[in-house]
Amino acid sequence: MIKQWLNWRSLLGLVAVLIVIGTVFYSESLAKKIAAQERNNVAIWVEAQKTILNSSDSANLNLATQISSGNINIPIIETDEKDNISNNYLNLDTFDVKENKNYLSETLESFKDYAPPIVLVISKKPYIANKYYYGPSELLKEVKYYPIVQLVIVFLFIVIVMLAQRANYNSRQNQVWAGMAKETAHQLGTPVSSLQGWLEMMRQVKGNEAITTEIEKDVNRLLLITDRFSKIGSMPNLEEKNIIELVENMMDYIKKRAGGNVHFELNTFGETYILSLICPPLFDWVIENLLKNALDAMEGKGNILITIKDAPAQIIIDVADTGKGISKVNINKVFNPGFSTKKRGWGLGLTLTKRIIEQYHKGQIYVLHSELGKGTTFRIVLNK
């Protein structure tokens, strides 16, 4: 799928490049033709001006006047033989001419760079002439800018297609993950049900009370895991629960399995009851994953501090450990599927954690702070 997506992207890029190159060459050719036609039109206009100045024939004067007034697109500035600007200009913004004293001179310089003037000689001795400098019409400007506009359009088209391809790929990946999770829950259901039956039979035998109590805890744990996996891929029902109580319960659960060299601490800033709309099994999974990651990072020795702050519009939960920390290179990768610094494991714990918080609870989770050799702090932000 990834190779196919890359091939499509390469093909789209090649097509876009060919379109732009073809457009540039065509537009350049078209612009040259229009520029040549416009110079010819200016030359005709200058001849019309000459006729108006010199001819006394009424028919010629009428025709010359029509030609002179017919130029409404090409901007022209008239100067004398020494390039002194006269008051005769055409198709320029009169407002800019009045408001900016340097407008005509600056425009004249740009016209000089654009094309040589067309000269109308009035007298040879003494030499008197009018020079007519001109610039590109709006049509010619549009033709020259057209390749840039098309390049932007093609670029946007490619971006949209790539985003659509990526969204489609991500959607398929999500469907695969959801399907795997639900299939896992389904596969676990049968043996867990069987274990529950065997557990009831063991309870009927005297002397098995201590064993059945511990087995029941593990069976209940399997039921919880099955319930968690069954909720992946579908929007769970959110319930109003006390966040502090849920975190305390999960901390107690992990504490019993952490050993005596790990110190746990919970700071709620004096609060005992903070309500939030959550899915308890999935939220427990989040806290469990973060605590297990902290234990792995500390390698059985250190401190874990959880702080829960009831802010005006949010609930902020920080899980901090004194473990080995995360390098700066890996901080942006910790939530990626398959990323893990451990020898064992699939690297899906933090990926599922991020999905649960951001997609199912519309919250945020990120690495607040991490320093090698000193520890890491993960932050969860839940909206009230």
Mean pLDDT of the chain: 83
Tokens 């450990």 belong to 321
Give the model's confidence band at 381: pLDDT under 50 very low, under 70 low, under 90 confident, else very high. very high
Give the model's confidence band at 212: pLDDT under 50 very low, under 70 low, under 90 confident, else very high. confident
Give the model's confidence band at 317: pLDDT under 50 very low, under 70 low, under 90 confident, else very high. very high
Q: What is the distance, to the nearest Å, from the Cα of residue 338 to the centroid of all Cα atoms in its chain?
A: 23
Give the model's confidence band at 89: pLDDT under 50 very low, under 70 low, under 90 confident, else very high. confident
* Higher-scoring residue by pLDDT: 345, 110: 110
**Contact of 45 with 19, CB cutoff 8 Å:** no
Q: Give the pLDDT mean for 261-287.
A: 91
CA atoms within 13 A on the CB side of 198: 9
Q: Give the pLDDT mean for 330-358.
A: 74
Q: Give the pLDDT mean for 203-216.
A: 80
pLDDT at 85: 87
Q: How far apart are CA 258 and CA 301, in angstroms?
A: 9
Q: Give the pLDDT mean for 353-370.
A: 91
Instruction: Indicate yes or no: pTM above 0.95.
Output: no
pLDDT at 290: 93
Q: How far apart are CA 369 and CA 178, in angstroms?
A: 31
Q: How far apart are CA 99 and CA 202, in angstroms?
A: 100
Q: What percent of the chain has pLDDT over 70?
A: 87
Which residues sit opposite 365 in a β-bridge? Answer: 380
The encoded tokens of residue 26 equal 């065509």
Q: What percent of the chain has pLDDT over 90?
A: 29
* Higher-scoring residue by pLDDT: 235, 116: 116
The pairing of beta strand 302-310 with beta strand 262-267 = parallel
Q: Which domains does the chain have, with CATH numbers?
A: 75-135 (no CATH), 236-383 (3.30.565.10)
Give the model's confidence band at 37: pLDDT under 50 very low, under 70 low, under 90 confident, else very high. very high
Q: Give the pLDDT mean for 307-315.
A: 93
Residue 23: CB partners within 8 Å, gap ≥ 6?
146, 147, 150, 151
